[in-house]
Amino acid sequence: MKIARSNFGNTPEGNEVELFTLSNDNQVTVKITNYGAIITSIETPDQNGKTENIACGFEKFETYVSPEYLGSYPYFGCICGRVCNRIAKGKFTLEGKEYTLAVNNGSNHLHGGLIGYDRSLFKTELIEESERIGVKLSYLSPDMEEGYPGNLQLSCTYTLNNSNELVMEYDAETDQTTIVNLTNHTYFNLTGGKDQILNHELEIPATKYTESVGNVPTGKINSVKDTVFDFLTRKKLGTDIEGLEDGYDLNFVLDNTDGKLIFAGRLCEETSGRKVEVFTTKPGIQLYTGYWIPELMIDGQKKFGRFSGVALETQHYPDSINEPHFPSIILKPGQKFYEKTVYKFGTK
């Protein structure tokens, strides 16, 4: 296994951006930048040994900050926070005080606000061990950044091993009571981007989902039985998608209240033979089939667009702070936030 470090460009403010390339002994290569803790590429072999990038991302840093990309922003590969997903109307009450956040998704707050962790520059520390290689990405989120209380010291550690596992570990501590819900927003396309993801087969071991209106939970938790949201038995993403206005974009309940590392999903694609298995300590997983991914012109070629990738975002439920019966996302001084997610790559 080996890790390489290189220059990836400069932010509009002139700060250097780095790119880290992790390679194991089985032709799996993961590229990560300290801008937004973004996973820019995941190369894995197909059933014939051909290696391709199975993650939506860009080869040039400039594309991540281009107006074309940010104008219809799909959050490729980044860390979303301080609170990922949606907070209804951008408001919540914590210890008797009401907080107002930016409204950047219709009438709601999404993925941390106008400038979330997805556009922050992280400090870096290399990890080179016998069983794994990786990078620890750290960031101090100051009190009231994007409206959130408390100075939050957080880190995301990405490591790769020879079991073809990309391990993501999230740590955080605060000096004031605050709320935290972090996820990685990588989109997968197991064909290497040659086809849409509608023929990908998905299995999610969840018997329930959080009902939502306008992508915000109503508070009800419903059974997947006899609905298009039933992925207990593996099926193609396109099988029932026509009846959904914007495709799939919902949170599944994993019944993981103890924070154990559990199986959370399996994505497969027949022509390549590739598969990705997901394991997490988190209580939920958001399935998003990329209806709003923009079609971009990159180096004279049209790329991406609707259904060009599928995100499997491990998380706490959306709008948890406004639904007291949902698993809590409150973090207090003296407490340590820790979550772990594993994406394991292979072939059928």
Which are the catalytic amino acids? 185, 313
User: Do residues 200 and 190 lie in contact, with contact meaning Cβ atoms separated by under 8 Å?
Assistant: yes
- Chain center to CA of 66: 21
- Chain center to CA of 288: 10
Of 18, 115, 8, 13, nearest in space to 62 by CA: 8
Give me the residue label for tokens 């919902």: 250
**∠ CA 36-37-42 to the nearest 5 degrees?**
120
DSSP 253-312: E---TT---EEEEEEE-TTT-EEEEEEESSSEEEEE--TTPPEEEETTEEEE-TTS-EEE
Please tell me the distance from the alpha carbon of residue 313 to that of residue 182, in angstroms, as a whole number.
Answer: 9
